């Protein structure tokens, strides 16, 4: 099971870790990025840095890394500027990108490395609703890949822009979070393909961010059932539940949402507030509701 916790800096990480880190500006980002990549060097990992930035700026970002030129020349460190808006990528292109990421992990392993360490700075993608939604869909896929493969992923964002539901959703999709100021998100982390763990509390403070994160999950599905383990969910209010129920309803023609091991209070709340829900199945736990699934 991947740990869900707050971290101070993007270091102390290992395979399968996916961290969101709110930095305090360019200098702070570069310091954290270098520390993150440095740790990868020490751990015999292949390094990848991609971001929606100019190549020259990205070179400056990694300049603090010892022997960065040599690392770039040898291919140990690769930098990939992304020039297109995230929302411009078609789903097929996104799927190809993700396959490309899997291939890079495989390449790293076949090259004798222990895995791949990937960093990104995604602040520019949170300037429009379309881009942020696309970024969230991307994060879903990355989190699923990270859960399964020896990949360490850092998703950095300027802390001063962490103000709204899309940024909350971004943090919700990372089981490790650093440099947080005021972000109070539940935890939604991949366990396996189409299978997620939902932890923490969903309420007035983060309900919109939770809904945005939840809405992104189907984009990463390979099957027809979205599985959510909710035994560690501490609280969800009616609005959060409505997002969940709405997702199940929207998927009901071609799939379903399966809640695994719901606590008794959650089963009761679904029953009280929504009764039978199309496309929602509750399995195991204290509160299995016969007939809740259709």
Partner 1 sequence: MNTRLRHEAAVFDSTEHMLHVVVPFLDEATAAGTPAVVRFGEEWAARLRDRVADPGRVDFVGGADDENPIRAVRAMNEAAQGHLEAGAPQIRLVGGVPDSAMSSRWAWEQWARYEAAFNEMYAELPAVALCCYPAWPAGHVHDDIAATHPRLVGGDGARENSSYVDPRRFVADRNPAPAERLDEDAPALELHDPHPGIAREAVRRLAERAHLADGQVEDLVLGANEVFTNAFLHGSRPVELRGWVADDELLLSIRDHGVGVDDPFVGMLQPPADRPEPGGYGVWLARMCSDLVTLRRDPDGFTVRMTARAR
- Per rule CB under 8 A, is residue 238 in the interface with partner 1? yes
Please pick, from the candidates 103, 130, 273, 294, the single residue that binds partner 1 as defined by CB under 8 A.
273
Secondary element (H or E) of residue 218:
none
β-bridge pairing 233-236 and 280-283: unpaired
* Residue list 95-154, contact with partner 1 (CB under 8 A): none
Among 89, 235, 250, 255, indicate the residue that binds partner 1 (CB under 8 A).
235
Which residue from 24, 215, 268, 288 is in contact with partner 1, where contact means CB under 8 A?
Answer: 268
In the complex, least distance from residue 206 CB atom to partner 1, rounded to whole angstroms: 10
Residues 6 or more apart whose CB falls under 8 angstroms from that of 72 comprise 62, 78, 79
Please give the structure tokens belonging to residue 163. Answer: 């103000």
Only one of the segments 25-33, 35-43, 97-105, 272-280 lies at the binding site for partner 1 (rule: CB under 8 A); that segment is: 272-280
Check: CB of residue 108 under 8 Å from CB of residue 46.
yes
- Contacts with partner 1 by CB under 8 A: the residue count is 17
Q: How far is the CB of 126 from partner 1 (least distance, A)?
A: 24
The helix or strand, by DSSP H or E, that contains position 161, with its residue range, turns out to be: none
Is 63 within 8 Å of 40 (Cβ atoms)?
A: no
Residues 205-234 that bind partner 1 (CB under 8 A): 205
Beta carbons of 117 and 105 less than 8 angstroms apart: no
Number of H helices, E strands in the chain: 9, 13
Question: How would you write 29-82 as a 3-class SS string?
Answer: HHHHHHHHHHHHHHCCEEEEEEECCCHHHHHHHCCCCCCHHHHHHHCCEEEEEC
Of 122 and 277, nearer to partner 1 (C-beta) is 277
Minimum CB separation of residue 273 from partner 1 in Å reads 6
195 binds partner 1, rule: CB under 8 A? no
Among 1, 42, 92, 272, binds partner 1 (CB under 8 A): 272
Q: Is 203 in the site for partner 1 (CB under 8 A)?
A: yes
For 78, left (φ over 0), alpha (ψ -120 to 50), or beta?
beta
Please report whether residue 237 would count as binding partner 1 according to CB under 8 A: yes
Q: Which of 201, 219, 232, 252 binds partner 1 (CB under 8 A)?
A: 201
The contact set with partner 1 (CB under 8 A) reads: 201, 203-205, 235, 237-239, 242, 264-265, 268-269, 272-275
């Amino acid at each position: 099971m991947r740990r869900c916790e707050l971290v101070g800096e993007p270091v102390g990480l290992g395979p399968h870790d996916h961290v969101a880190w709110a930095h305090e500006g360019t200098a702070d980002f570069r310091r954290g990025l270098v520390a993150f990549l440095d740790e990868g060097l020490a751990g015999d990992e292949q390094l990848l840095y991609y971001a929606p930035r100019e190549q020259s700026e990205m070179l400056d970002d990694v300049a603090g890394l010892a022997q960065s030129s040599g690392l770039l020349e040898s291919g140990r460190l690769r930098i990939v500027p992304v020039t297109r808006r995230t929302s411009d990528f078609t789903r097929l292109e996104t799927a190809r990108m993700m396959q490309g990421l899997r291939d890079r992990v495989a390449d790293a392993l076949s090259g004798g490395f222990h895995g791949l360490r990937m960093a990104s700075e995604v602040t520019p993608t949170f300037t429009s609703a379309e881009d942020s939604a696309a970024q969230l869909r991307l994060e879903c896929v990355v989190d699923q890949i990270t859960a399964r493969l020896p990949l360490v992923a850092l998703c950095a964002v300027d802390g001063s822009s962490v103000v709204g539901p899309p940024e909350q959703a971004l943090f919700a999709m990372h089981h490790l979070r650093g440099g947080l100021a005021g972000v109070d998100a539940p935890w939604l982390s991949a366990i396996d393909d189409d299978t997620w763990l939902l932890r923490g509390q969903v309420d007035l403070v983060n309900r919109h961010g939770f809904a945005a994160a939840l809405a992104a999950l189907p984009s990463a599905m390979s099957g027809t059932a979205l599985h959510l383990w909710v035994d560690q969910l501490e609280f969800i209010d009616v609005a959060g539940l409505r997002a969940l129920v709405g997702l199940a309803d929207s998927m009901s023609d071609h799939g379903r949402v399966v809640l695994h091991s719901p606590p008794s209070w959650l089963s009761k709340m679904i029953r009280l507030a929504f009764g039978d829900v199309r496309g929602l199945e509750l399995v195991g736990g204290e509160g299995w509701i016969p007939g809740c699934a259709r």
